[in-house]
Structure 1
């Protein structure tokens, strides 16, 4: 099977868009696209201000 490829800045070469390298590249891009507040919530989890788990940033 011949999978499509794309240039990976992290790998420095063309990689299959079905590869773990490409998945990692997309995850990094998604985290970098987050605002600082969203990123903090993503990595630290969100709380309701009293230390209890709360609703994720951007959730309804």
Structure 2
């Protein structure tokens, strides 16, 4: 059963090891890094939709 507010990402073992070392070296958590990655992905794919959704979830009308 999936846990609330958790996401499973399948990645090659080498990429996972690199990511673990990367976030450790930068002294950031995986959660912070993955949140940044998701936001950058949405922004890169569709800036207008991303900004529309961001305003919606921040309750900003302008």
TM-score range normalised by the length of the shorter chain: 0.3 to 0.5
Q: Which has the higher strand share?
A: 1
Structure number with bigger Rg: 1
- TM-score, normalised via structure 2 length: 0.33
Q: Which has the higher contact order (CA 8 A, sep 6+)?
A: 1
